[in-house]
Amino acid sequence: MSSEIWNPRSSASAEQPPDDLEDNSSFDGESTMAPLATHELSLSAQQPAVLQCLDREGWLVTPPVNGCRVAVLSRACKQALEGWPHRLECLEFLEIESDAFVARQLEWVAHHCPNLRYLVLDTTFASGDNLRDAIQAIARGNLFISDAIQAIARGCSQLRHLDVSTNSVSDEAIAAVIQFCPQLQHLDVSACDVTDATLWAVAADCPQLKELDVALNRVSNTAIQAVAADCPQLRRLNVAKCTDRTDEAIESVAWGCPQLERLYVACLQLLTDAAIQAVAQGCPQLKELNVSRCARLTDASIRSLAESCTQLESLTTRYCPLLTSAVVRALEQGCRQLKYLDMTPLVCSDGWRAMSWRNMDGGLCRDTVLDGLL
């Protein structure tokens, strides 16, 4: 069964999906059409996009009624729409302006879309006339979103992919998803203000998890180690900007997640060569690594990658001041699959340069060279 995608937009004309979509009482069994909405069908800026789309596809018939035109669905359109919530598998909320709006939509989805597998929630914004109103609205909206996510967890047990990044979601809401959605494979809670409690829940009940993003959250070494020990199928991990994380956390990932392909540890200021050398030895399938602003790393860590990670395709080491151009040749020889290398700014024999390389015909070709101190 092919998945269906619903992408709600927040606007003045946006409305909550009607509860009577599956109610056939409004349809006349003898008629070839069913009422949808009363609307002028001129191609004006006021016409809802959905009507324009249906009109283009020939799904509307528009007989005059009292001098006006009434948009009605053909029988074929009615049959296509019947039961669509049960078929919905993918849902993305984009360009959201109201936390209350998305909370209402999520509550509706939780009760009508049991087969939902993929959910992405863009950043929600609370509105207020002044700072006090805005703060109160944010707090209220966070509660609404967390409650709605818990409703999704209970109503959409087949969920496999959840992305609520940059939304303030409670640990309890994520724990509910983990508890009631045993097939969860992708979880993105970056910049969500979650704590160790979320990672402990992941470690306890998500052994099948393949992708985890907890960047920009205050999570501890111990919590990351628990995930590494109990989620051996992890293939993508983002712990960038998780303040004060040390070698112990990343070393546990290296030894506990041998299938890891993508690792992002940017801005972990305490990270040393020992952590990256462990990753090189423990994660031979690594394809992408970002260690930008890890100021303690030296050429030794990059050489270990060149020796052990032959499938490496992308390496970003921006603002790692101890790295030198000497590692470029080692990468070119050891990582024949390398397509992108960013070492901005790189220490060269003639001073600081901003440099990046891209793969061309099996070898690294310098992509940009910008003179001057950055």
pLDDT, tens digit, 9 for 90 and up, residues 121-178? 987 655 444 445 444 554 444 568 899 999 999 999 999 999 999 998 999 999 999 9
Q: What is the DSSP letter of 167?
A: S
Place 88 in a pLDDT band, splitting at 50, 70 and 90. Answer: confident
Within this chain, do residues 133 and 159 fall inside the same structural domain, yes or no?
Answer: yes
Within this chain, do residues 113 and 44 fall inside the same structural domain, yes or no?
Answer: no
User: What's the pLDDT tens digit per position in 111-123?
Assistant: 999 999 999 998 7
314 in a structural domain: no
The last residue of one of the domains, among 273, 299, 325, is 299
Reduced to 3 states (helix: H, G, I; strand: E, B; else coil), residue 267 is coil
Concatenate the DSSP letters of all residues of 321-339 into one string.
Answer: TT-BTHHHHHHHHH-TT--
372 in a structural domain: no
Within this chain, do residues 159 and 225 fall inside the same structural domain, yes or no?
Answer: yes
116 in a structural domain: yes
Within this chain, do residues 194 and 254 fall inside the same structural domain, yes or no?
Answer: yes
Within this chain, do residues 161 and 268 fall inside the same structural domain, yes or no?
Answer: yes
HSE-up (13 A, CA, CB side) for residue 96: 26
Q: What is the DSSP letter of 343?
A: -
**Helix ranges (DSSP H) in the chain:** 49-56, 75-81, 84-87, 99-112, 131-155, 171-180, 196-205, 221-230, 247-256, 273-282, 299-308, 326-334
Within this chain, do residues 122 and 71 fall inside the same structural domain, yes or no?
Answer: no
43 vs 210: which has the higher pLDDT: 210
What global pTM score does this model have? 0.75
Within this chain, do residues 198 and 276 fall inside the same structural domain, yes or no?
Answer: yes
Q: Mean pLDDT, the chain, as a whole number?
A: 78
Within this chain, do residues 222 and 120 fall inside the same structural domain, yes or no?
Answer: yes
46-49-50 Cα angle (round to 5): 125
131 in a structural domain: yes
Domain holding 58, by residue range, is: 18-81
Contacts of 121 (CB under 8 A, 6+ apart): 93, 96, 102, 106, 145, 163, 164, 167
User: Across the chain, which distance is largest between two alpha carbons, in Å?
Assistant: 84
254 in a structural domain: yes
331 in a structural domain: no
Within this chain, do residues 43 and 103 fall inside the same structural domain, yes or no?
Answer: no
